[in-house]
A and B are shown apart, each in its own frame.
Chain A
Amino acid sequence: MSEQSVGRTAPERRADGASTRRRGIVGWGDPRGRRLGGFAFILNRLTGLGVLLYLSFHLVVLSLLARGPSAWDGFVSLAGSPLFLCFDVVLIFGLLFHGLNGIRVTLVGFGLVVDRQRAMLVALMVIGAIVLLIASVHILTVG
């Protein structure tokens, strides 16, 4: 800025346009400095995308049904393998987190329980953990 320049106007700021913006996917998923709700948001995203991926897979697999009994039954025998069962546990976790956090997001989004949303999140997660435990035991033992 020369001596003659007068005033400071918004578009000028700094010539190099430096900012502290945290851009893109790195800024979006950066866990540092996040608080409880921030982690819930990140996890909600990840579980949502994960479940979406599963559903796509699920729909493709269901097409085997159209090919008749042998194609389907061949797949079902594969689905009983321990690896698949572990995958089921991860899926249940994703569904539980996304669903339970979704209850919180929906309620507060309609202006309900906003003041107690943090406690609600904790309570829902406790419920989720219990259900996940029961479901895991069921899946891994009963199959």
Chain B
Amino acid sequence: MAHSEQPTPDRIGPMWTPSREPSRPTWGWILQAVTGALVLILVTLHMIANHFVVAGGLRDFADVVAYLSNPVVVVLEVLFLVVVTAHGLLGLRAVLFDFGLGPRLEAAITRVLAVLGVAIVAYGLWLTWTITSYH
């Protein structure tokens, strides 16, 4: 093999080192891509359902309650909330990470955004529960 003949190049310059994060980034990318695709589908459904299915779109409070009385709608809207939250916060994380803030701050950002995500979904579930149980 010709390469083995080459003198093993001594380390050249200040070596770039892998960041050695415990979580491999591939899953982050796959998650971002999958949630992105789901958001694309669900936002389309959301818009059509909200604005076209009922003539003139969802208008007053009664419309909203009626809309959410359909369990399929509830499932879709909750799923939409989950994926859009994940996608948005992953995106925000990527934006912030591009500023080279350093591993400690980045780890803190990840934790804060994870908590924020859980809080948003919890809030959405509570809201849905409140509306669907409104009579």
B95 x A49 contact (CB < 8 A): yes
A10 interfacial contact with B, CB 8 Å: yes
Question: Among the listed B88, B92, B98, B127, which residue makes an inter-chain contact with A65, where contact means beta carbons less than 8 Å apart?
Answer: B127
A66 x B91 contact (CB < 8 A): no
Which of A31-57 touch B at CB < 8 Å?
Answer: 45, 48-49, 51-52, 55
CA distance A25 to B99 in the complex (A): 8
The interface size of chain A toward B, counting residues with CB under 8 Å, comes to 28
Total of A-B residue pairs, C-beta within 8 Å: 57
B61 interfacial contact with A, CB 8 Å: yes
B40 interfacial contact with A, CB 8 Å: yes
A109 interfacial contact with B, CB 8 Å: yes
The interface size of chain B toward A, counting residues with CB under 8 Å, comes to 28
Q: Which residues of B contact A (CB under 8 A)?
A: 13-14, 29, 33, 36-37, 39-40, 43, 59-62, 64, 84, 88, 91-92, 95, 98-99, 120, 123-124, 127, 130-131, 134
CA distance A59 to B124 in the complex (A): 8
Give chain B's interface secondary structure class.
Answer: helix
B88 x A10 contact (CB < 8 A): no
Residues on B with C-beta less than 8 A from A99 are 39-40, 43
Query: Contacts A45-B95, A66-B131 known; A76 to B14 CB distance under 8 Å?
Result: no
A66 x B98 contact (CB < 8 A): no
Residue of A nearest to B14 (CB): A10
CA distance A11 to B95 in the complex (A): 30
CA distance A76 to B60 in the complex (A): 7
Residues on A with C-beta less than 8 A from B134 are 68
Residues on B with C-beta less than 8 A from A48 are 88, 91, 95
A69 x B62 contact (CB < 8 A): yes
Known contacts A55-B88, A65-B61, A68-B134, then 9 further A-B pairs from the complex at CB < 8 Å, ordered by chain A residue: A11-B14, A51-B88, A52-B91, A63-B127, A65-B64, A69-B62, A99-B43, A102-B36, A109-B29
Query: Contacts A106-B33, A109-B29 known; A52 to B124 CB distance under 8 Å?
Result: no
Question: Among the listed A49, A59, A63, A72, which residue makes an inter-chain contact with B60, where contact means beta carbons less than 8 Å apart?
Answer: A72
